[in-house]
A and B are shown apart, each in its own frame.
Chain A
Amino acid sequence: MRRGYGQRRDFAADASWHSDTIGAAIHRFANPGRFLRLARQLLPWLAGATAISFAVGLYFALIASPPDYQQGETVRIMYVHVSAAWIAMFAYAWVGLASAAALIWRHPLADVAAEAASPVGAAFTLLALISGSLWGRPMWGTYWAWDARLTSFLLLFFLYIGHLALLNAFDDRQRGRRSAAVLAAVGLIDLPIVKFAVDWWNTLHQPASVLKMDGPSIDPSMLRPLLIMALACQCYFFLVTFLRMQALLLEARQRARLYRRNTASPRGTATATRGSGA
């Protein structure tokens, strides 16, 4: 049970954790060793799904879909922009909720899940911002506007940057993770603001056309590439997040080995020298 987690609290030994069945279930599936085995089996499938969905998605996005009657060919930017923005928000929900779980239950895998997903979310956020401004220039006549949707989405990018900076800001990794987790959890408030900014304020950005109460208002020929590209981005998110979680867990395992070695052997020799000296 202690495998690779020499410096963390041992949950198997914590009776109160096991007394509640939901906690026990989470513990059973979120055990780092079990996760590593599962992730190793899952990775080839995720890689395949990502490659295939990107190939099909790009085919529909760039070739087998018509230009829009208003936007012309620039509608093709939407297939990158909207799917990137969706996954940027999904990734932030993942980071924020995992951070909250890490703060409440102190489960080691929750910290790792948040830390691993953060750069992936930041990449999708940056991608949505860049592709959005490349669409805004020809369609709105400007790369950027301080509009509620754009500003709250820019804040999402800064939340990711702040989270990543805090993770690496302290010599004590635990302290860094805790302060990063607080920021990420509090930042969750930005997600509904991003989502509803187009309804709450008069924005330059258009309102929702897919995720709305009375169903999507996009033609199926354009909804198809969008949904396949979104699926591809979602697969990519899980692929890279799980890769990074594996890396973080193995690095922690290696640190625990070094820590044990450095605390075990020198102390042994020190006592021996002291003993012989006396």
Chain B
Amino acid sequence: MNLSDYFAMGGYAAFIWPSYGVAVLLLAALFLLSARRLQAAERLLEADTADRDLPDGDT
């Protein structure tokens, strides 16, 4: 079986590849957004604790 036959997916390429494409896009985007939000929260809290020393020692 050659490569173009494989990508043609028995004539259903136009339905199969977009399904996988949408899956990759959606899941990757949500993962990256979530990871960046966590990073931002960590950085903000770190900067804030370095700046100020609250009396109760809360981090």
- List residues of chain A with CB under 8 Å of any chain B CB: 2-4, 58, 62, 67, 72-74, 76-77, 80-81, 84, 119-120, 123, 126-127, 130-131, 134-135, 137-138, 236, 239-240, 243-244, 246-247, 250-251, 253-254, 256-257, 260-261
Contact = CB atoms under 8 A, between A and B. Distances in A.
Interface residues of B, number: 30
Interface in B31-45: 31, 34-35, 37-38, 40-42, 44-45
A126 B19 contact: no
Given A80-B19, A134-B15, A261-B52, A119 B30 contact: yes
Contact of A73 (B16, B23, B41, B45): B16
Given A135-B19, A247-B40, A254-B45, 14 more contacts: A58-B20, A62-B20, A76-B19, A77-B15, A80-B19, A120-B30, A240-B31, A243-B37, A243-B38, A246-B38, A250-B44, A253-B45, A253-B59, A254-B41
Contact of A250 (B9, B34, B45): B45
Nearest to B22: A130
B3 interface: no
A253 B38 CA distance: 13
A264 to B, nearest CB: 8
Contacts of B16: 73-74, 76-77, 134
Contacts of B38: 243-244, 246-247, 250
A236 B27 contact: yes
A67 B41 CA distance: 46
A138 B9 CA distance: 13
A137 B15 contact: yes
Given A77-B19, A127-B23, A244-B34, A254 B10 contact: no
A182 to B, nearest CB: 25
Tell me what chain B mostly uses at the interface: helix, strand, loop, or mixed: helix
Given A72-B10, A250-B42, A254-B44, A4 B58 contact: yes
B48 A236 contact: no
Contacts of A62: 20
Contacts of B18: 134
A254 B48 contact: yes
Contacts of B50: none
B59 A3 contact: yes
Contacts of B12: 72-74, 138
B15 A251 contact: no
A239 B20 contact: no
A242 B23 CA distance: 20
Contacts of A253: 45, 58-59
A246 B9 CA distance: 41
A240 B59 contact: no
Contact of A130 (B19, B45, B56): B19
Given A77-B15, A127-B23, A137-B15, A239 B59 contact: no
Contacts of A123: 26-27, 30
A72 B12 CA distance: 9
A123 B29 CA distance: 10
